[in-house]
Amino acid sequence: MGDYSKALQAYKISVKKKEISLDPNHPSLAASYSNIGAVYQDMGKYLKAIEFCEKDLKIKERSLPSNHPDLAISYSNIGVVHKVMGDYSKALEFYEKSHQILEKVLPENHPSLATSYNNMGSVYESIGEYLKALQCYEKSYKIYEISLPENHPSLTNSYNNIGSAYDSLGEYLKALE
């Protein structure tokens, strides 16, 4: 584990200096807020994580086009925190916003789209919507299969998720395939 207090201290010093010297919509300030949010998430302080991830998002919403990939990352980061908190409807809302951007700006077989499908699938699985989870996991797998080497961990994880969804659906033989 990292030294969270030292990381927070360094990031907060960085933010103070950036707030003085940079435009309030500067991407570097947004990145610092995102970093602070990630540390709070790692510490299990999820409300603080969301607070700083939302600061990052607000800057990006003001300074970037509405379909910029960096916005998708910010939406996804907030979705992750909501999922960890068990707020699945919010997690899905932010994952879907992220996914909509990625679908517009990335090639159809880009690994980031596969990750996005996987994120949405994990929420569907958490709320017991196993068929929707399976559909997302299968889309994720197909993209990874095309875009990654056959021994890549993301591909293996995606295949495992498909098995888990089949298991949850009671389709045990398919889960074993």
Q: Residue 45 — left, alpha, or beta (φ > 0 → left; ψ -120 to 50 → alpha)? A: beta
Q: What is the pLDDT along the chain (177 residues), one digit of tens a residue?
A: 579 999 999 999 999 999 999 999 999 999 999 999 999 999 999 999 999 999 999 999 999 999 999 999 999 999 999 999 999 999 999 999 999 999 999 999 999 999 999 999 999 999 999 999 999 999 999 999 999 999 999 999 998 999 999 999 988 666 566
Domains and CATH numbers, the chain: 1-105 (1.25.40.10), 106-177 (1.25.40.10)
